Structure 1
Amino acid sequence: MSIEIHNLEHTYNAGTTFSHAAIKGINLQIPDGKVTAIIGQTGSGKSTLVQHFNGLLLPTAGSLEVCGFHIQPLLKIKDVKKLRKEVGLVFQFPEYQLFEETIEKDIAFGPKNFGASEQEAQDLVKKILPVVGLDESYLERSPFELSGGQKRRIAIAGILVLNPKVLVLDEPTAGLDPQGAKEMMTLFMNLNKKENKTVILVTHDMEHVMKYCDHVIVMDHGKVLHEADVKEFFQKPEWLLSIGINPPSIVRLKCMLIEKGFEIPDSILDEESLLECIKGQVIQHV
């Protein structure tokens, strides 16, 4: 089931002198089983939007349909725990949420909170560790003794152990080195491709959007500015430039070559095809 958003609005500190409208009349349908990127400048409303998906925030106006749950203003979401089991939200720097004395206890906290027995929780922990690239030798270690990348894997395991249908990732590779970022994105893409999980990615990294995503939503000042299939989106670099975000390197290179007189079809968005296109034109002029 896709996420459907109807005339969604959210105002912080409504009715006070500090009132701020962060979301303004958004209508969206986020496709099921796909990887959707939500992009925009800091303050555009991206994080506010995704925090509605599991009930961390309630609308000021409008409504959402998420995994069979109806979310609207002034209503307590029926059995919000079940919604948060269906929609896993990975915050930026999720490792800051680690708190237990061992990795096993930290990951087991969620299942036990949902009624799993001690043995059931332990079995789930052992099952999820390989998914995030770790093994049982980590179980009795303190999460605070690990590297930054390992801490993030443990924090994400604590969400994946609940087997959510939707995974919302708010800048999941922030602070990681290139190899760590690649490994993290590979993990999320495997969950999408192999387990058909809907993945929603809030990011500033356009290389990741181009490489991993199916669908793109551009936000600006609390509104949806553009929405498109990822291939169509990157054929319009002016959409990114209009909100001050650099397109991916391959798109910037295409624009430079076009300015130099090369004829390059809009559909070319990978290095190999671009090279073949340029080579053919260079040979003709030799």
Structure 2
Amino acid sequence: MSIEIHDLEHTYNAGSAFSHAALKGVNLSIPEEKITAIIGQTGSGKSTLVQHLNGLLLPTAGSLEVCGFHIQPLLKIKDIKKLRKEVGLVFQFPEYQLFEETIEKDIAFGPKNFGATEEQASDLVHKILPIVGLDESYLDRSPFELSGGQKRRIAIAGILVLNPKVLVLDEPTAGLDPQGAKEMMTLFMNLNRKENKTVLLVTHDMEHVMRYCDHVIVMDQGNVLHEADVNDFFQNPDWLIQVGINPPSIIRLKLKLIENGFQIPDSILDEESLLKCIKGQVKICE
């Protein structure tokens, strides 16, 4: 089931001198079992939007249909815990949410909060560790002894252990080195491809959008500015630059080549195809 959003509005501090309309009549149909990127400038409404998906924020106006739940203004969501089990929200720098004395206790906290016994929670913890690329040697360690990337894996394991249908990630690679970011994005791609998770990714990284995502939503000042399949999205680089989006490196290289006289179709978006294209246009001097 896709996520359906109808005329969604959210105003912070409504009725006060500090009132701010963060979302203004947003309409979206987010496809299931795909990786959808939500992008836009700081303050465009990205994080506000995704916080509605598991009831952290309620609409000022409009409504949402998420995993069989109907969310609307001033309506207390029945079984809010169940909704938050179905929609796992991973905040930027999720490692700051770690608090238990051992990794096993930290990951087991969620299942036990949902009624799992000690034994059931322990079984779930042991099953989830390999999925995030860690082994059982970590279980008795303190989460505060780990590297930044390892902490993030533990925090994400604490969400995945609940087996959500939808995984919402707010800038999940922020602060990671290139290798750590690549490993994290590969993890999310595998969860989508192998576990059929619907993944929503709030990000500023266009390289990640091009490489890992299927669908793109562009937010601007609380509105949906654009929505497209990822391949269609990157075929108009002039528009991307115009709205303040820095295109991926392959797109920037294409633009430079075109400036220097090469004929390159819009549909070429990968290195191998680009290399084949320019090889046929290069004259070799003997």
Could you state the TM-score of these two structures normalised by the residue count of structure 1?
Answer: 0.98
* Matching of residues 107-118 of structure 1 within 5 Å: 107-118=107-118
CA shift at 1:37, angstroms?
0.3
Aligned ranges 1:150-229 → 2 under 5 Å: 150-229=150-229
- Contact in 2 for aligned 1:41/1:243 (Cα 8 Å): no
**AA at the equivalent of 2:279:** K
Distance in 2 of aligned mates of 1:6 and 1:229: 20
Q: Gaps spanning 5+ residues in structure 2: where?
A: none
Matching residue of 2:131? 131
Pick closer, same or farther for the CA change 1:285–1:21 going to 2, 3 Å.
farther
2:22 is aligned with what amino acid? A
Q: Cα distance, 1:237 vs. partner?
A: 1.4
Partner deviation per Cα, 1:73-110 (whole Å, 9 max, x = no partner) = 00011111000000000100000000001111100000
Q: Spell out, residue by residue over 1:185-204, the C-alpha distance to the aligned partner (whole angstroms, 9 max, x if none).
A: 11111000001100000000
Alpha-carbon distance between aligned partners in 2 of 1:186 and 1:3, rounded to the nearest angstrom: 24
**Contact kept? 1:35, 1:212, Cα under 8 Å:** yes
Farther-moved stretch of structure 1 (220-229 vs 251-260): 251-260
CA distance in 1, matches of 2:8, 2:85: 23
Residues 1:268 and 2:268 aligned together: yes
After superposing on structure 2, the runs of 4+ consecutive aligned residues of structure 1 that deviate more than 6 Å are: none
Secondary structure at the aligned position of 1:33 is classed as coil
Q: CA deviation at 1:245?
A: 2.1
Number of the residue aligned with 1:83: 83
Q: How far apart, in 2, do the equivalents of 1:51 and 1:157 lie?
A: 20
Is contact 1:220–1:243 with CA below 8 Å preserved after alignment? no
Residue identity matched to 2:51 = Q
Residue pair 1:58, 1:73 contacting (<8 A) in 2 also: yes
Deviates more, 1:237-246 or 1:211-220: 237-246
Distance 2:230 2:77 in 1: 33
- Counterpart CA distance in 2 for 1:147 and 1:14 is 41
| 1:224-235 equivalences in 2 (<5 Å) | 224-235=224-235
CA RMSD of aligned residues (A): 1.1
2:27 is equivalent to residue 47 of structure 1 = no
Unaligned runs of 5+ in 1: none
Distance across 1 between alignment mates of 2:27 and 2:52: 13
Q: Deviations over 1:37-85 (max 9, x none)?
A: 0000110000000000000000000000000000000001111100000
For residue 2 of structure 1, what is the amino acid of its counterpart?
Answer: S
Equivalents in 1 of 2:22, 2:238: separation in Å? 24
Normalised by the size of structure 2, how large is the TM-score? 0.98
Aligned counterparts of 1:285 and 1:51: Cα–Cα separation in 2: 59
Identity of aligned residues (%): 86
Find the counterpart in structure 1 of residue 6 from structure 2: 6
108-117 or 242-251, larger mean C-alpha shift? 242-251
Residue 284 of structure 1, CA deviation: 8.8
Corresponding residue pairs, total: 286
One-letter identity of the residue aligned with 1:263: Q
1:240 Cα shift? 2.2
